[in-house]
Amino acid sequence: MNDNNKVNVVLKTLLEEMFDARERGIGGVRFARAHGYADGYMRALMESGLATQEELLAVVLETRAQWSDSRHDAPVMGLKSCKAAV
């Protein structure tokens, strides 16, 4: 997965919208929609062979870290912890 392609930009935007919704305490349908869009997009990327699970995890972690750094100093779960949770 190339860092400069449109697919990566779309994925990062979807993830940021999901993180924002969660941070603002938006629940129910609005959060589920944001989560579903991001999840569905990642699933389509994997099923089409455009990205592997490891590549997507790296994008999620990078986006979460950048988003978190710009909002507050909350700790970010590492890649090994994410893989263990999957």
Domain parsing of the chain, residue ranges: 6-85
pTM over 0.85: no
Burial of 83 (0-12, 13-18, 19+ CB in 10 A): exposed
- Per-residue confidence (pLDDT) for residue 26, from 0 to 100: 77
Q: What's the whole-number average pLDDT of the chain?
A: 79
Helical H runs in the chain? 6-23, 28-47, 53-71, 79-85
The whole-angstrom separation of Cα 36 and Cα 43 is 10
Q: Percentage of the chain surpassing pLDDT 90?
A: 27
Mean pLDDT computed over 62-68? 85
